[in-house]
Amino acid sequence: MTDFALRTTALVRRFGGLVATDRVSLEVARGARHAIIGPNGAGKTTLVNLLTGVLKPDEGRILLAGEDVTDLPAPARVRRGLARTFQINQLFPALTPLETVALAVSEREGHGGDWFRAAGSRAAEVDEAVEILGRFGLVSVMNERTAVLPYGKQRLLEIAAAIACRPRVLLLDEPAAGVPEEERRDILAILAALPADVTIVLIEHDMDLVFSFAERITVMVDGAIFTEGTAAEIARDPGVRAVYLGEGD
Amino acid sequence: MTAPASAPLSARSALSRGAVPPLLEWAAWAAAVACVFVLPSKLLLLNEIAILALFALSLDLILGYAGIVSLGHGAFFGVGAYAAGLLAKHGFGDPVTGLFAAAGAAALVGFVTSFLVLRGSDLTKLMVTLGVAMMLFEAANRLDWITGGADGLQGVVMKPVLGLWDFDLFGRTAYLYSLGTLFILFMLARRIVHSPFGLSLRAVKGNALRAGALGIVPGRRLVAIYTLSAAYAGVAGGLTAQTTQFVSLDVLDFTRSADVLLVLVIGGAGNLYGGLVGAGIFRLMQTWLSGITPQYWQFWIGLLLVVIVLVGHERLTRGLPRLAAAALRRLRGKADAPGSTRP
């Protein structure tokens, strides 16, 4: 049996009459670079919300490294190594990038409820936060309020905060959405440099990013899995071109 | 993209910045102590200000740092006042023990009601806190065989503070006792808001969804700070009961909850100093204005409130130095003007 980092069995989620997630069975191997693509409204973000515990599925199970996490709330899944980024920035406007990343590190280490020590008094944690910020080129702005940062920097912070959770599985929901071309390359370089044992699931519209990054690709249409295969197989698949790329002939 | 070598060190100091009191603050504390000698006739008023400051500080912990709005914070003040008052009335008149009892009783009520306050919108929170305070008010009114009801709790007799200092008629002991309590709890509050826990509260206030995505369980943190805030308010109530040696039913009155919110808005929420500054401004304005227009003083407080909320604290505090600079320039311009006409 393959060692799955993340696995779902016949996941279903309905919104009234709309089936947003339709019997989705996904298998992501440990250390995989897996992309989920599909046209708008294919149910990609709903799937991310189901996987992370923001939404509860109506049917089906979710297994994280073999453990059933279907009934666990979002924070409990994070502590088991499942982190995510958001399609639309979800940051702390009044906090600085340093505070944001240091917070994520201290929560991961279980010091989040510590009320007597000063924040920043654990040198190893601060050093790690600075190291992460350095990887994302955010050290020069680490003491600015997040609200005043340029969009591209905020986008990078969005990923940096998730990395600071030191995930085993990282879900990236359109990390390059709205990011200008040159900064896209930064994001790609950062993703490429992540440790190989971190499993990455990428939800993305940008085909260049998908094909330069992903080894396996799942194509979703109308809430269901349309097809799945290696990047090369998907690139060749005439059905995918027809439904998704709109280039079918 | 690598960090400069000095980054970790400056990061450590940036994160713990604010955990150490600035020099100006020590000067303010010293000035507050000096009031005992400078303003010996105003110590009763100063005692009230110190207690109101502590009460506003307790509200700042939830409103300023966790974003929990409340129209019923007086509930905890009242519970603390009755706890300390009843303890002293029944023969346990040691003030410090009384404060611990006040904190404990208020914390218990805070903990239990926090679960009601956690859910819902700001409007829900306002109504739940208001409702809880109303129920406690009527309960205290009804249980007059314990609380004295509308006549108030009589027979509160206090022992000397720490067995050394007796309460006096001029409020000297009372003021120093309240000020000392405020000082200790303020220092503790500073530690707490600048800890990892305090940082996580600000995160939850800023974006609960993302806080959850970083592994924070928002509910638990909010219960903790709400309980702590209730304990602080309880101590403020306990100080009132002990230093006036009386508990009237209006410790639980709605106006107390409204006033403390007013004080914090006037002083500014979310920086710990707001409650202290606001308490001073509020009480002094109240005293001064009610001397001028005994019946209509609230008009001016109301006006101040409207101006602060509409203009905003930041613009006011940034605008004042700018106004002062402009005034200075004009003064200097006038001074220069005659000179420039000279040949």
pLDDT tens digits, B116-144: 988 888 898 999 999 999 999 989 888 88
pLDDT tens digits, B262-314: 999 988 888 899 999 999 999 998 888 888 887 888 888 888 888 888 887 77
Among A116, A112, A128, A208, residue whose Cα is nearest residue A163: A128
Q: Is the pLDDT of residue A176 over 50?
A: yes
- Asked if the C-beta of A123 comes within 8 angstroms of chain B's C-beta atoms, the answer is yes
Q: How far is A215 from chain B (nearest CA, A)?
A: 26
Q: How far is A202 from chain B (nearest CA, A)?
A: 17
Residue A222's CB is within 10 A of a number of other CB atoms, namely 15
Chain A residue numbers touching B224 (CB-CB < 8 A): 113, 115
From the list B12, B200, B224, the residue facing A126 with the nearest CB is B12
- Asked if the C-beta of A112 comes within 8 angstroms of chain B's C-beta atoms, the answer is yes
Chain B residue numbers touching A83 (CB-CB < 8 A): 213
Residues 6+ positions from B22 with CB-CB distance below 8 Å: none
CB-based contact B215:A75 (threshold 8 Å): yes
- Asked if the C-beta of A90 comes within 8 angstroms of chain B's C-beta atoms, the answer is yes
Share of residues in chain B with pLDDT > 70 (%)? 93
The pLDDT of residue B330 is 77
Q: Which of B12, B188, B191 to mutate to test the interface with A (most CBs of A within 10 A)?
A: B12
What is the average pLDDT score of chain B? Answer: 86
- Asked if the C-beta of A166 comes within 8 angstroms of chain B's C-beta atoms, the answer is no
Nearest CA in chain B to A92: B206
Q: Do A107 and B195 touch (CB under 8 A)?
A: no
Chain B residue numbers touching A162 (CB-CB < 8 A): 213
Among B87, B70, B103, B333, residue whose Cα is nearest residue B236: B103
Q: Are strands A67-68 and A82-84 parallel, antiparallel or unpaired?
A: unpaired
From the list B198, B207, B214, the residue facing A107 with the nearest CB is B214
The pLDDT of residue B342 is 41
For residue B82, CA distances in Å to A7, B156, B254 come to 57, 10, 16
Mean pLDDT of A238-249: 65
Among A199, A173, A189, residue whose Cα is nearest residue A80: A199
Share of residues in chain B with pLDDT > 90 (%)? 45
Mean pLDDT of B52-61: 96
- How far apart (Å, rounded) are the C-alpha atoms in residues B172 and B24? 25
Nearest CA in chain B to A190: B1
Mean pLDDT of A212-228: 88
- Confidence band of A2 (pLDDT split at 50, 70, 90): low
Q: Which of A72, A92, A122 to mutate to test the interface with B (most CBs of B within 10 A)?
A: A92
- Phi and psi of B66, rounded to 5°? -120, -5
Q: How far is B148 from chain A (nearest CA, A)?
A: 39
What is the third-level CATH fold of A4-245? Answer: Rossmann fold (3.40.50)
A80-91: string of b/e by CB count within 10 Å (b at 16+)?
bbbbbbbbebbb
- Phi and psi of A96, rounded to 5°? -85, 160
Chain A residue numbers touching B8 (CB-CB < 8 A): 123, 126-127, 130
Q: How far is B202 from chain A (nearest CA, A)?
A: 8
CA angle in degrees (0–180, nearest 5) for B260-B261-B265: 115
Q: Do A74 and B212 touch (CB under 8 A)?
A: yes
The pLDDT of residue A222 is 86
The pLDDT of residue A212 is 85
- How far apart (Å, rounded) are the C-alpha atoms in residues B300 and B290? 10
Mean pLDDT of B81-89: 91
Among B141, B172, B164, B120, residue whose Cα is nearest residue B248: B141
The pLDDT of residue A232 is 84
Nearest CA in chain A to B270: A94
Q: Do B196 and A126 touch (CB under 8 A)?
A: no
The pLDDT of residue B151 is 81
Nearest CA in chain A to B12: A120
Q: What 3-state class would DSSP assign to B343?
A: coil
**Residues facing residue A14 across a β-bridge:** A19
Nearest CA in chain A to B212: A75
Contacts 24+ apart (CB under 8 A), A76-80: A77/A52, A77/A53, A78/A165, A78/A167, A78/B212, A78/B213, A78/B214, A78/B215, A79/A108, A79/B215
- Among A2-16, B118-132, B157-171, B262-276, the range scoring the smallest mean pLDDT is B157-171
The pLDDT of residue B189 is 94
pLDDT tens digits, B184-227: 999 999 999 999 999 999 999 999 889 989 988 888 899 999 99
Q: Do B3 and A112 touch (CB under 8 A)?
A: no
User: Would you say how long chain B is, in residues?
Assistant: 343
Helix residue ranges, H only, chain B: 7-16, 23-38, 43-66, 74-89, 95-117, 122-142, 144-147, 172-193, 196-206, 208-213, 218-244, 254-267, 273-292, 297-311, 313-341
Reading the block at residue A162, the tokens are: 């998730």
Q: Are strands A199-203 and A33-37 parallel, antiparallel or unpaired?
A: parallel
The pLDDT of residue A246 is 57
The pLDDT of residue B88 is 86
Nearest CA in chain A to B196: A119
Q: Is the pLDDT of residue B319 over 70?
A: no
Share of residues in chain A with pLDDT > 90 (%)? 31
Q: How far is A206 from chain B (nearest CA, A)?
A: 24
Place of tokens 């740092």: B65
Q: Do A130 and B198 touch (CB under 8 A)?
A: no
DSSP A35: E
- How far apart (Å, rounded) are the C-alpha atoms in residues A107 and A75? 10
Chain B residue numbers touching A193 (CB-CB < 8 A): none
Q: Do A114 and B192 touch (CB under 8 A)?
A: no
- Among A111-115, B134-138, B251-255, the range scoring the smallest mean pLDDT is A111-115
- Confidence band of A161 (pLDDT split at 50, 70, 90): very high
List the domain boundaries for chain A. Answer: 4-245
Q: Is the pLDDT of residue B49 over 90?
A: yes
**Residues facing residue A84 across a β-bridge:** A171
From the list A74, A120, A142, the residue facing B213 with the nearest CB is A74
The pLDDT of residue B4 is 53
- How far apart (Å, rounded) are the C-alpha atoms in residues A91 and B213? 11
Count interface pairs A-B at CB distance under 8 A: 153
CB-based contact A103:A189 (threshold 8 Å): no
Q: Do A103 and B203 touch (CB under 8 A)?
A: yes
Reading the block at residue B242, the tokens are: 């002990």
Residues 6+ positions from B174 with CB-CB distance below 8 Å: B43, B44, B47, B167, B168, B243
Residues 38-57 of A with CB under 8 A from B: 52, 54
The pLDDT of residue B336 is 53
- How far apart (Å, rounded) are the C-alpha atoms in residues A131 and A127? 6
Burial of A72 (0-12, 13-18, 19+ CB in 10 A): middle
Q: Are strands A27-29 and A4-15 parallel, antiparallel or unpaired?
A: antiparallel
Strand order in the sheet with A169-173: A82-84, A169-173, A199-203, A33-37, A216-221, A224-230
pLDDT tens digits, A139-160: 888 888 999 998 888 999 999 9
